[in-house]
């Protein structure tokens, strides 16, 4: 089930912008200018339950055949912090922490370093890994 934000809603990606001025255009088909913008739009898609956008923004070499998201209400996304973004040519990495809560349980966090590739001017999520102790930021 997709949540449809109103034009006055803050964007779920915590950019400080309104959804129609931030991730909304990307969800509607506009190409992300940077890998960070794509990563933020993917986080917003998880918040909104938009599996179609997530698959479409996944690199064709690593895209899953199907993507089943948690049922509405099972998982609640609480916020996003981008720690680092680095790009060189058509490759980029974004390190972030996404906070969430499962059911009525305690808040948890997903800390990931994601890799992105640009194909024909469009950024795609390639894969991600959890940072190891001692990883430099």
pLDDT tens digits, one per residue of 43-96: 999 999 999 999 999 999 999 999 999 888 899 999 999 999 999 999 999 999
In a domain, 2, yes or no: no
Whether 23 is covered by a domain: the verdict is yes
CATH number for the domain spanning 35: value is: 3.10.450.50
Strands of the sheet with 122-129, listed across from one edge: 75-88, 91-102, 107-119, 122-129
Looking at the domain assignment, is residue 1 inside a domain? no
Taking alpha carbons only, the member of 69, 116, 49, 113 closest to residue 88 is 116
Q: What's the whole-model pTM score?
A: 0.91
> CB neighbours (10 Å) of residue 38?
24
CA 18 – CA 10 distance, rounded (Å): 4
Is residue 34 included in any domain, yes or no? yes
Residue 3 binned pLDDT confidence (cut-offs 50, 70, 90): low
Structural domain boundaries, residue 43:
19-129
- Residue 7 domain-assigned (yes or no): no
Indicate the number of domains in the chain: 1
């Amino acid at each position: 089930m997709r949540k449809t934000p109103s034009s006055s809603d803050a964007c779920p990606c915590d950019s400080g912008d309104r959804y129609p001025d931030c991730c909304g255009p990307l969800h509607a088909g506009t190409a992300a200018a940077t890998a960070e913008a794509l990563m933020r739009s993917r986080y917003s898609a998880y918040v909104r339950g938009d599996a179609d956008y997530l698959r479409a923004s996944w690199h064709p070499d690593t895209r899953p055949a199907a993507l089943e998201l948690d049922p509405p209400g099972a998982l609640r996304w609480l916020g996003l912090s981008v720690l680092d973004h680095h790009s060189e040519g058509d490759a980029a990495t974004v390190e972030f922490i996404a906070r969430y809560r499962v059911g009525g349980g305690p808040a948890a966090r997903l800390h990931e370093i994601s890799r992105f590739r640009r194909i024909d001017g469009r950024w795609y999520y390639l894969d991600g890994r959890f940072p190891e102790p001692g990883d430099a930021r």
